[in-house]
Structure 1
């Protein structure tokens, strides 16, 4: 059987040691079979195990192989489309539920890190940086919106104040969210996987789900085995492929690129980000960056629609980094990689049930670190018979991309070009 290793990323190179996990051979029975050992699958499994379910996870590659182990490592609250969009989309009761949940994912991460002693370089504090007066106005509105839902750990920053937290001359101001923050994302996933196993959960790596046999007692077929279950959770996101065709038609894998510098001197690292906060700008195609535990700068940005791997990632991202921090012009790039996230047309998550016993959550649209941890809790609640919060997500509309799978890439790229032009022109 083919062995799929981690990509050559900084995260894989600095991952905590883990035991080998076997591929599935033969047939097993379980209460819940989870497809995918990323954050959605791991979070679901942990909540289910804590409530007495027997859980088996099948993973096509390795724990955290996909977006969960490749992302920018930033804990960012709310959804890719904010609560005000949701308020205009659904009824008041559903909007209230979804608004209350918008800040729960970050709390779940911190609870997991503390409860299971996960070593993942957790740091508090995230900055939204405004490049234009319009973006600053949006942050002022966002602060009022979030405070209306009880989220109060926010500070608006003028130009002088933001210079105190990030050494970039481009920003007019920003907003600091102290409940935001950053982590080593792969080590978070590996720590959650160890927690799953400590509670009796079983994880099979190098075990792709190749077919789901639907029915009263569904079966997940793998290359050399099968899992008989009472329920299935589909948590493959951008790496699911066409395993569930009705989900593939309403989502699109997209690639984002990340680079990591060589270790910086303590003085230079302190100069760039004195409080060690993570930062993302407010552009439609945004840039994001932070320091690692060993004082490297991780810088990411850009979107490749359709998830093609660019030939030269450093050539795409390094100019963005130098625009923000020209003082890094002589700094070497040690790692460059790409990873896929799953985009929906509405940019809101897609949550639901197929038949009576196949549950799914997908389409974080770039806001996956916090949302996936919430999604795991919501899916586990639904399987325990408490479906109110699940139903609030399931009620969000699912739209197919115009033109189907053939035209979704060019149409999305055209839309992104339009909004990027608006960002550059400041309107």
Structure 2
């Protein structure tokens, strides 16, 4: 069974889908159309890019294989957190301190962009400020403390340290030693937000076509994107399908892997109990490599994520195992009912840094340090955004803005990200999954120490 079949099963019991009905559908592409830009992928990155391009006067057609926000954009944990999935040291080592500071500042801009779009387009997505990163033991607490001090001294980023004796005032859980509180980050209902962006894009003139999987891409001076029932001829293409591109651009797809992630949502809790569990109503992540993440919802449920599958196979007894993880963190919830259990696949890169770039008109990858290209040059007219590595709720929105800037003539900020280096996963198509499974077993052992 392919991961796409597994993914379809995992989408059936989403809390988000149950609480954000789709009030609008978009017709499939039928026939051939011409446009300035064709966007492949109707998730947060593609929708964001479409909005930004429309704001800049470009005609945009967006193609989505299923429904807008079908994948991770509409099914994720809902946590919008500053930074990247990789540690900031990865960016520092590759780009240097000043560009790394630029990247960090852009991740803060990504958070501001959510607020700006909600206000501009009237999107009610249950935004709640606050995020806690919590360590489960003294060793991990020491590492987190060093990170906090580094971010304060090198980046000017302020977070609040939560000492062991203060933990009870922040979270009613015996599991955690200490941690940080970040008032800038927060959480939201990702499907409500994504559908709001889709409505906004449509109002701005973007042509959105659902149920239109792309079957082929012809590169060249005027690239052509094919679907089963039509085609789009454009000046530029944006590939924003992540793990769903399925052979459309193999030269970049080998640099990401589909990794399964899983979430459950409890029955509605007594509001007083829900408030007592996390008084600040913040989103929470532990600091393990294979982490648990959770948050209260607007209707007083506990939404709890954890477990990953690097083999694409769904873990057995998913609901029971996730209930056990939730009860380990909150014994108070040991007997509560699980109303929803779902999952999906995220696009993990080798170093967990985002992978943005271009493909030349001959289909080859554009060298990231080649300064000869421009928006009107003959070198590159196919752009891509991928590798958000499970940390993309805010960053995808910024990525759409950066790629729109690049497509319309100002690539300076996009190129900061494009200079990050990426490698294909080792082992090729057949061996990379077993190799990753073995590697993750090592990190699970480290988390247990």
Regarding TM over 0.5, the answer is yes
1:86-101 equivalences under 5 Å are 86-101=91-106
Task: Find the residue that maps to 2:51 and give its secondary structure.
Answer: helix
Aligned to 2:187: 182
Q: Say whether residues 1:304 and 2:309 are aligned partners.
A: yes
C-alpha RMSD of the superposition: 1.7
Cα distance in structure 2, aligned partners of 1:107 and 1:149: 21
Q: Is the 8 A contact 2:311 2:434 kept in 1?
A: no
1:367-406 equivalences under 5 Å are 367-406=391-430
CA deviation vs aligned residue, 1:306-342 (integer Å, no higher than 9, x gap): 4333343213311111100111111110111111001
The TM-score normalised by the length of structure 2 is 0.91
Return closer, same or farther for 1:93/1:267 CA change in 2, 3 Å cut-off.
closer
Q: Is the 8 A contact 1:129 1:282 kept in 2?
A: yes
Aligned to 1:269: 274
1:287-326 equivalences under 5 Å are 287-326=292-331
Aligned to 2:252: 247
Q: Is the 8 A contact 1:103 1:151 kept in 2?
A: no
Task: Find the residue that maps to 1:257 and give its secondary structure.
Answer: strand
Q: CA deviation at 1:17?
A: 4.3
Cα distance in structure 2, aligned partners of 1:316 and 1:192: 34
Cα distance in structure 2, aligned partners of 1:84 and 1:128: 18
Q: CA deviation at 1:238?
A: 2.1
* Unpaired runs of at least 5, structure 1: none
Aligned to 1:54: 59
Q: Say whether residues 1:424 and 2:448 are aligned partners.
A: yes
**Which residue, out of 194, 198, 201, partners 2:199?**
194
Q: CA deviation at 1:79?
A: 0.7
Q: Is the 8 A contact 1:313 1:338 kept in 2?
A: no
Cα distance in structure 2, aligned partners of 1:20 and 1:387: 34
Q: Is the 8 A contact 1:37 1:58 kept in 2?
A: yes
Q: CA deviation at 1:153?
A: 4.3
The TM-score normalised by the length of structure 1 is 0.95
Cα distance in structure 2, aligned partners of 1:83 and 1:4: 35
Q: Say whether residues 1:110 and 2:110 are aligned partners.
A: no
User: Relative to structure 2, which stretch is displaced further, 404-413 or 249-258?
Assistant: 404-413
User: Relative to structure 2, which stretch is displaced further, 141-150 or 292-301?
Assistant: 141-150
Q: CA deviation at 1:130?
A: 0.8
1:11-410 equivalences under 5 Å are 11-148=16-153, 150=155, 152-355=157-360, 356-410=380-434
* Unpaired runs of at least 5, structure 2: 1-7, 361-379
Cα distance in structure 2, aligned partners of 1:52 and 1:144: 44
Cα distance in structure 1, aligned partners of 2:156 and 2:333: 36
Q: Is the 8 A contact 2:10 2:343 kept in 1?
A: no
Q: Is the 8 A contact 2:265 2:338 kept in 1?
A: yes
CA deviation vs aligned residue, 1:153-198 (integer Å, no higher than 9, x gap): 4111112323212111111111111111100011110001111111
Q: CA deviation at 1:100?
A: 2.5
Task: Find the residue that maps to 1:348 and give its secondary structure.
Answer: coil
Cα distance in structure 2, aligned partners of 1:414 and 1:173: 30
Cα distance in structure 1, aligned partners of 2:350 and 2:395: 17
Q: Is the 8 A contact 1:256 1:338 kept in 2?
A: yes
Q: Is the 8 A contact 2:11 2:344 kept in 1?
A: no
Cα distance in structure 1, aligned partners of 2:98 and 2:158: 25
CA deviation vs aligned residue, 1:124-164 (integer Å, no higher than 9, x gap): 00000111222222222222333346553411111232321
Q: Is the 8 A contact 1:6 1:62 kept in 2?
A: no
Cα distance in structure 1, aligned partners of 2:9 and 2:27: 13
Cα distance in structure 1, aligned partners of 2:120 and 2:394: 17
User: Relative to structure 2, which stretch is displaced further, 135-144 or 321-330?
Assistant: 135-144
Q: CA deviation at 1:5?
A: 11
Cα distance in structure 1, aligned partners of 2:66 and 2:241: 11
Q: Is the 8 A contact 1:4 1:61 kept in 2?
A: no
Return closer, same or farther for 1:95/1:416 CA change in 2, 3 Å cut-off.
same
Q: Is the 8 A contact 2:135 2:141 kept in 1?
A: yes
Q: CA deviation at 1:207?
A: 0.7
Cα distance in structure 1, aligned partners of 2:439 and 2:9: 34
Q: CA deviation at 1:93?
A: 4.5
Q: Is the 8 A contact 1:305 1:413 kept in 2?
A: yes
Cα distance in structure 2, aligned partners of 1:28 and 1:7: 33
Q: CA deviation at 1:239?
A: 1.9
Task: Find the residue that maps to 1:102 and give its secondary structure.
Answer: helix
Return closer, same or farther for 1:185/1:221 CA change in 2, 3 Å cut-off.
same
CA deviation vs aligned residue, 1:96-117 (integer Å, no higher than 9, x gap): 3223223222111111111111
